[in-house]
Amino acid sequence: MEMVKSGEWTLLDVRPEEEVESGEIPGSVCVPLFEVDDDMSVQGLLKQMSAFGMGGWWLGGQHMRPNANFMPQVLNKIPRETKVIVVCQKGLRSLAACEQLSKTGYENIAWLNGGCEAAEKDVIPTVDGQDIRLAGVGGMSGVLGWNPVQQASGISTMDGPFGNVVKVIGFIVAVDVVALLYEFTHASQ
């Protein structure tokens, strides 16, 4: 971060708006590589339902589409001769963005391997002091505290009142299943 603070390098944040809002990096240039797909056609709705069914409910992700204006937006904000460090939440989008930057003529490019989530706490500052490692946490995994960053930090809603409610509901469901199996086996005799 010292290279960015000194002005030697420019930080390009390619995370979608939702993640940036959960942990904006001061002085960064924000241009999302992907945007939320808001297509409401039949095909668009099928894509959104598929994304939800394939893990969106667990991770909180929405169906995304590539930002068709990514490179024009970057070129408008960052000259080609600038040294650029590209970041995203997990490191994959920033690597893809580096490839596009390279093809467009940027020569001094770096990315944060593993993304913001892999950084130590407070190494990457945010505008409002939030832990940037949690900016991509969502869905049920975020609610339950089952994200690796939350687990490593000891952040879990399962320890509080919500967790107690979930545990009680789980116990009731387990007892109900046992009772149902008991009745089913005895009813057939």
Phi/psi of residue 12, nearest 5 degrees = -105, 115
Q: How far is CA 24 from the centre of its chain?
A: 13
Whether the CB-CB separation of 13 and 59 falls below 8 Å is answered with: no
88 is catalytic: yes
Whether the CB-CB separation of 36 and 62 falls below 8 Å is answered with: yes
Task: Count CB atoms within 10 A of the CB of residue 140.
Answer: 11
Whether the CB-CB separation of 112 and 85 falls below 8 Å is answered with: yes
Marked catalytic residue, from 30, 88, 98, 116: 88
User: Which of 126, 125, 150 is closest to 139 using CA atoms?
Assistant: 150
Catalytic (active-site) positions: 88
